[in-house]
Structure 1
Amino acid sequence: MTEKTALTPAGHTAPPARFSHGVRKGNILQVAGQVGFLPAAEGEAPTPAGPTLREQTLQTLANVEAVLTAGGASWDDVMMIRVYLTDTAHFAEMNEIYDAYFADLTAPPAARTTVYVGLPAGLLVEIDAMAVLD
């Protein structure tokens, strides 16, 4: 039986509850919902990348990518992405940022779902991903 491995990339804060930033078992890698926190500074509270959707989305995607990399995966391995937005008015802007971010992706794009949620104060977006490795 394949062992399950928890993933916490350098620069990520400890999760606020008992869960992993990512988990890999065999060729499946699940990235937990990531938000736009800047890399952790020891002894300091997590800090959002900025107040704008653009700043937070780009940092969130970088945080997802860090977990993918820690698990031996890349965006080409991602099968499913879920985007959680706090405001329906952000949908078009997030799509523009998302399309530009993945413009150079060579593999077919991942499937995606977008839902609207409440997040802690100041956070505008959360993203998770599921990858299947060869």
Structure 2
Amino acid sequence: MSIQRIEPAARMSGAVVHGNTVYLAGQVGEGESVTDQCKDALAEVDRLLAAAGSNKSKILQTIIYLSDIAYFGEMNAVWESWVDPANPPARATSEAKLAAPKYKVEFIVTAAI
């Protein structure tokens, strides 16, 4: 079974397709607020899923890291307006120290193709 790497770079690929599954690298967004960062990161999720031949209705699992769990409600407001309500994925959310202090949220997505 072949492996397709989407937007490969020295450190990682933006997404990897194996069989009928696509694995996205963690997606963070730009902006000052959690809302702005969520919207930006989820737009990148949409873009990478499309590049792999998938879309948000086919997301199997999402892992969400917040730099502060106090952002949970704000993140959920964006998530709930973005996620396909007919096809919600399995999901986990946790507080974690992210790669840079400016990041407030990171989404890790696995989807079917």
**Structures share fold, TM-score greater than 0.5:** yes
- 2:13 is aligned to 20
Q: What amino acid is aligned across from residue 77 of structure 2 in structure 1?
A: E
2:108 matched to 1:125?
no
Displacement, 1:23? Answer: 0.1
Distance 2:5 2:86 in 1: 26
Query: Over alpha carbons, which structure has the higher Rg?
Result: 1
Give 2:90's aligned residue.
111
Residue 106 of structure 1: how far off its partner (Å): 5.6
Asked whether the 8 Å contact 2:58–2:87 carries over to 1, the reply is no
Asked if structure 1 preserves the Cα contact closer than 8 Å seen for 2:62 and 2:109, the reply is: yes
Q: Does 1:79 align with 2:79?
A: no
Cα distance, 1:101 vs structure 2: 1.6
**How many pairs does the alignment contain?**
112
Structure 1 residue runs of 4+, over 3 Å off? none
Aligned to 2:2: 3
More strand by share: 2
What secondary structure sits across from 1:34 in the alignment? coil
Deviations, residues 62-111 of structure 1 (Å, cap 9, x unaligned): 11111111100000111101111000110111111111122xx2632101
More helix by share: 2
The percentage of counterpart residues that share the same residue type is 32
1:94 counterpart residue number: 75
C-alpha displacement at 1:19, in angstroms? 1.4
Q: TM-score, normalised by structure 2?
A: 0.91
3-state SS, counterpart of residue 11 of structure 2: coil
Per-residue deviation, residues 27-71 of structure 1 (Å, max 9, x unmatched) = 0110110110xxxxxxxxxxx2x1100000000001111111110
**SS of aligned partner of 2:13:** coil
Q: Within 5 A, what are the aligned runs for 1:29-108?
A: 29-36=22-29, 48=30, 50-102=31-83, 105=84, 107-108=86-87
TM-score by length of 1: 0.78
